[in-house]
Amino acid sequence: MRLIVHYGLAILMMISISGCVAHAETDTETDGICETEEQGIRLHVDGMYGGYPHSVLRDAVLESIACPSGDAELHAFHAIATPPPHMRISVMRPTGQGQQGSLSVMLFSQGHFVIGERMSLSPFSRTQSPFSVKADINLATARLWSDLANRIAQGKPAIP
């Protein structure tokens, strides 16, 4: 009887933990951005910014993304726009004064990696609230669209 209770509890704990993990994996919140072009882009934000809640970081990212503009960038976007592409932005800034952080922007279309940008956070962004990364995010996303437009202009495929 004792073994049944012991193993029964172990099995029950494993089932409950796996249920929590499965829920966490499917609980990825995405937002629609750049919806004036085609069907827009699905955005996923992850990472951490010091001790701030993830929702604050997500709001800062949503307010700062550069969408494709200009003829060359719009042409490049239309090459990957169906079905709507996915963008993943990850911001990492460890807790503590003077800690360096990084920013990563990746664009995916039709299940394939298209292009990405990675950069260190500016000195200003390392010491302030998550809203201070807005300029860094805007710069990284603007570079991403510019680089994609340059790739298309050189006759290279939009999706390598």
pTM over 0.95: no
Residues facing residue 17 across a β-bridge = none
Residues facing residue 43 across a β-bridge = 31, 87
Tokens (6 digits) for 46: 């992850």
pLDDT value at residue 146: 97
Residue type, 42: R
Residues 99-148 pLDDT 10s? 789 999 999 999 999 999 999 999 888 778 888 999 999 999 999 999 99
The H or E element that residue 43 is part of is strand 41-49
pLDDT value at residue 66: 96
Pairwise CA distance, residues 112 & 132, whole Å? 31
Residue 19 has pLDDT above 60, yes or no: no
Residues facing residue 105 across a β-bridge = 89, 117
